[in-house]
Amino acid sequence: MKKLPLFFALTLTAISLALTNAVVTGEKNTSEERSNIEAYNLDDTRIALRGYSPVSYFEKGGAERGKKEYMVDYRGIKYYFASEAQRQKFLKNPEKYEPAFGGWCAFGMSVEGRFRIDPEKFKIVNGRLYVFLNDIEVDAKALWEKDGDDDKLTRKAAAFWKKVSGENFPSS
What is the model's pTM? 0.81
* Nearby residues of 142 by Cβ (< 8 Å), 6 or more positions away: none
pLDDT at 127: 96
pLDDT at 80: 98
Kindly state the average pLDDT of the residues 66-78: 97
What is the C-alpha to C-alpha distance for residues 148 and 150, in angstroms, rounded to an integer? 6
In this predicted model, what pLDDT tens digit does every residue of 33-71 receive, in sequence order? 888 999 999 999 999 999 999 999 999 999 999 999 999
pLDDT at 21: 38
Paired with 64 in beta bridges are none
C-alpha separations of 117 from 42, 155, 172 in Å: 11, 20, 23
pLDDT exceeds 50 at position 91: yes
Q: Does residue 125 or residue 22 have the better pLDDT?
A: 125
